[in-house]
């Protein structure tokens, strides 16, 4: 992300003073992250694969872009950023494809939409609310597990919280519901807010000429830094959002040594903010699931920007010319190394059932059971482990139906492994197959609660339509009409059926059976039209019904879609005597 040169400088950073200014720490915080370093991230403006990022031991990164084919060196999570200004909004079709290709990704909707300086998104609050709504809808439709965050405002000053208030209210006014946000996001710079001057300017739509007039020497003030975080977390609580995570997706020192920011000062600020983010808690406004912590993750600016605007800047972790870590990168790496915790997390991500031949209801078939397993931990697993399958919930005593051995797994994003077994079964109704990774608990993991996955074997026959042909049947004088009833049948099961039956009736009163028609063989997923003749439909209003599998030969998961009714009018053809002119006069 690029901006004009911004604010501040204070003297030395005193961590003790900073911590004294923070809210009291809650007792016994429960971390959400198995390794504290999973919280730690950075921004990168060039190609991340050109740098030895494994040395940094960070958990995530951001590059102010989005991709369908994402890159995860050293197992780093990638935060996708969707630009929201009119020139750079993503195509909905592409966005849906990218979301499906990266299930569970973090999507930041916008980048500093409150700022009109230096190529930021620059949107009125009301427009941002609409753009957020539309992009959120695309993401969630394509991937319900997508995690969606707002675009970070530059800093949580009173002026910028006014802009956010208007976004919140505009969304409520437009859509009648609070803004759905999975993760809240903010930047935490300390910059002057003055129209037409250096810093971050005035948010679009806010009728002001100035806000916080931070000076150049305030850019690393930890009291201001903490004040802004507390202000944002307080806003979250006041808007019913306290339970949501808060991330700081960008912050750092933008100013060069020529403005008073030599390397020691930048280093001290970075390490002090790491300590602040790691320890700052408040039982009134912090995240309850994270021990009351105020901030869950943060990203330093930057990995590779050695000269933000001009002069000699010291905030880069690595040299873009050589790809090697710079002194600040060594400090980052040392901080992370001291807090790194090895962990493995085995997760089944897919469970497939494939018949080796024809598979029909009530008939024996052999299935190949395939479980796809990933390690979402930060170290590879070099030991074998077992995957076991069950015919029903294993915690309820369901029998085991197969087992396979997997020879270890790489670190997260390093690739998945598949385990297979075969099972001969006769399906006579819906059932659920479970796979359990490492059921004996032989592998120590960070999370033992995500080791199972189930796949339901569906049995469901459905009526999807009922037509009358011709659409307007007509009976001649003193006659009945010949009508055809047509039903659309779908086998929405995983198994085929040899023969199902559809019965039609005129509901009267009295109810009169009309005809029953067989469907023939219906393979899994196959649809078919079946027709029955109603040769003597009396003129008048009728109500007809089609019933699929009326004798319940098939045990289904959903019987509610086995009947359809509709109204039918049979019209009487009228005969008229010709008119003559006799007896008429002008």
- Full pLDDT tens readout for the chain, 586 residues: 333 333 332 332 333 333 323 333 233 333 589 999 999 999 999 999 999 999 999 999 999 999 999 999 999 999 999 999 999 999 999 999 999 999 999 999 999 999 999 889 999 999 999 999 999 999 999 999 999 999 999 999 999 999 999 999 999 999 999 999 999 999 999 999 999 999 999 999 999 999 999 999 999 999 999 999 999 999 999 999 999 999 999 999 999 999 999 999 999 999 999 999 999 999 999 999 999 999 999 999 999 999 888 899 999 999 999 999 999 999 999 999 999 999 999 999 999 999 999 999 999 999 999 999 999 999 999 999 999 999 999 999 999 999 999 999 999 999 999 999 999 999 999 999 999 999 999 999 999 999 999 999 999 999 999 999 999 999 999 999 999 999 999 999 999 999 999 999 999 999 999 999 999 999 999 999 999 999 999 999 999 999 999 999 999 999 999 999 999 999 998 765 555 554 443 3
Task: Answer whether 15-337 and 461-572 agree in fold.
Answer: no
- Read off the tokens for 559: 């019987």
Rounded Cα–Cα distance for residues 466 and 464 (Å):
7
Rounded Cα–Cα distance for residues 119 and 113 (Å):
10
**pLDDT given for residue 328 in this prediction:** 98
Say which residues have a Cβ less than 8 Å from residue 579's Cβ, sequence separation at least 6.
none
Provide the Cα torsion 417, 422, 427, 430; round to 10°. Answer: -20
CATH class of 15-337: alpha beta
Per CATH, is 346-457 categorized as 3.40.50.300?
no
**pLDDT given for residue 578 in this prediction:** 58
What is the pTM for the complete model shown? 0.85
Rounded Cα–Cα distance for residues 470 and 380 (Å):
67
What is the edge-to-edge ordering of all strands in the sheet holding 452-457? 400-409, 381-391, 431-437, 452-457
φ/ψ (deg, to 5) at 119: 70, 25
Question: Counting every residue, how long is the chain?
Answer: 586
**pLDDT given for residue 491 in this prediction:** 98
> Could you tell me which residues are beta bridge partners of residue 407?
384
Contacts of residues 450-454 at CB distance under 8 Å and 24 or more positions apart, as own/partner, are 450/345, 450/347, 451/346, 451/347, 451/348, 452/348, 452/394, 453/348, 453/349, 453/350, 453/351, 453/371, 454/351, 454/393
- Read off the tokens for 292: 């009351």
Say which residues have a Cβ less than 8 Å from residue 282's Cβ, sequence separation at least 6.
23, 24, 26, 230, 233, 292, 294
Location of structure tokens 């880069």 = 316
280 CB burial (10 A radius; 0-12, 13-18, 19+): buried
Q: Which CATH number fits domain 461-572: 1.10.443.10, 3.40.1160.10, 2.60.40.10, 2.170.190.11?
A: 2.60.40.10
Every domain of the chain and the residues it spans: 15-337, 346-457, 461-572
The separation between CA 442 and the C-alpha centre of its own chain, rounded to angstroms, equals 32
- Read off the tokens for 331: 């400090």
Rounded Cα–Cα distance for residues 42 and 54 (Å):
13
Closest CA to 208 of 226, 188, 193, 224: 193
Rounded Cα–Cα distance for residues 230 and 468 (Å):
66
Rounded Cα–Cα distance for residues 350 and 392 (Å):
17
Calculate the alpha carbon distances from 158 to 4, 43, 415, 443 in Å.
21, 26, 46, 50
- Read off the tokens for 122: 């620059």
Instruction: Provide the CB-side half-sphere exposure for 445 (13 A, CA).
Output: 22
**pLDDT given for residue 360 in this prediction:** 98
Is the C-alpha dihedral spanning 30, 32, 38, 42 positive or negative? negative
| Separation of first and last alpha carbons in the chain | 92
**pLDDT given for residue 310 in this prediction:** 86
């Amino acid at each position: 992300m690029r901006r004009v040169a911004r604010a501040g400088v204070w003297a030395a950073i005193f961590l003790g003073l900073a911590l004294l200014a923070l809210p009291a720490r809650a007792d016994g915080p429960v971390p959400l992250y198995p390794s504290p370093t999973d919280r730690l991230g950075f921004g990168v403006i060039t190609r991340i694969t050109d740098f030895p990022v494994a040395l940094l031991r960070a958990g995530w990164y951001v590059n102010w872009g989005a991709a369908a084919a994402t890159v995860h060196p050293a197992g780093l999570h990638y935060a996708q950023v969707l630009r929201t200004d009119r020139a750079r909004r993503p195509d909905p079709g592409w966005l849906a494809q990218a979301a499906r290709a990266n299930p569970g990704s973090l999507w930041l909707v916008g980048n500093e939409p409150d700022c009109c300086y230096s190529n930021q998104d620059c949107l009125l609050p009301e427009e941002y609310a609409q753009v957020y709504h539309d992009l959120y809808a695309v993401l969630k439709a394509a991937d319900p597990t997508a995690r969606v965050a707002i675009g970070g405002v530059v800093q949580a000053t009173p002026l910028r919280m006014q802009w956010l208030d208007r976004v919140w209210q505009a969304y409520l006014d437009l859509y009648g519901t609070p803004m759905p946000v999975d993760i809240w996001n903010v930047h935490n710079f300390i910059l002057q807010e003055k129209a037409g001057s250096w810093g971050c300017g005035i948010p679009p739509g806010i009728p002001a000429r100035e806000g916080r007039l931070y000076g150049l020497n305030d850019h690393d003030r930890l009291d201001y830094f903490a004040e802004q975080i507390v202000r944002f977390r307080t806003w979250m609580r006041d808007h019913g959002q306290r339970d949501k995570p808060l991330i700081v997706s960008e912050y750092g020192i933008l100013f060069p040594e020529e403005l008073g920011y030599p390397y020691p000062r930048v280093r001290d600020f970075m390490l002090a903010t790491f300590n602040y983010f790691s320890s700052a808690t408040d039982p009134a406004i912090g995240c309850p699931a994270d021990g009351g912590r105020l901030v869950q993750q943060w990203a330093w600016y930057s990995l590779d920007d050695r000269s933000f605007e001009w002069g000699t800047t010291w905030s880069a972790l690595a040299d873009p010319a050589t790809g090697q870590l710079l002194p600040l990168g060594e400090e980052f790496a040392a901080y992370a190394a001291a807090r790194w915790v090895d962990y493995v997390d085995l997760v089944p991500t897919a469970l497939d059932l494939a018949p080796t031949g024809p598979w029909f209801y009530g008939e024996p078939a052999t299935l190949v059971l395939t479980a796809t397993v990933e390690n979402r931990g930060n170290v590879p697993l070099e030991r074998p482990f077992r995957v076991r399958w069950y015919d029903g919930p294993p915690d309820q005593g369901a029998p085991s139906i197969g087992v396979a051995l997997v020879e270890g797994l790489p670190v997260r994003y390093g690739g998945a492994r598949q385990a297979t077994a075969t099972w001969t079964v006769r399906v006579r109704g819906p059932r659920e197959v479970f796979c359990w990774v490492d059921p004996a608990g032989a592998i120590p993991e960070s999370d033992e609660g995500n080791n199972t996955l189930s796949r339901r074997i569906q049995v469901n026959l459905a009526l999807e339509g009922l037509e009358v042909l011709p659409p307007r049947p007509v009976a001649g004088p003193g006659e009945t009409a010949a009508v055809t009833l047509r039903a659309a049948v779908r086998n929405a099961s995983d198994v085929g059926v040899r023969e199902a039956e559809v019965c039609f009736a005129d509901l009267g009163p009295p109810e009169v059976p009309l005809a029953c028609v067989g469907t023939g063989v219906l393979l899994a997923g196959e649809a078919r039209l079946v027709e029955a003749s109603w040769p003597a439909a009396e003129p008048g209003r009728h109500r007809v019904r089609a019933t699929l599998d009326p004798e319940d030969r098939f045990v289904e998961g959903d019987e509610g879609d086995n009947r359809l009714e509709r109204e039918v009018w049979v019209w009487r053809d009228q005969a008229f005597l010709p008119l003559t002119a006799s007896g008429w006069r002008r």
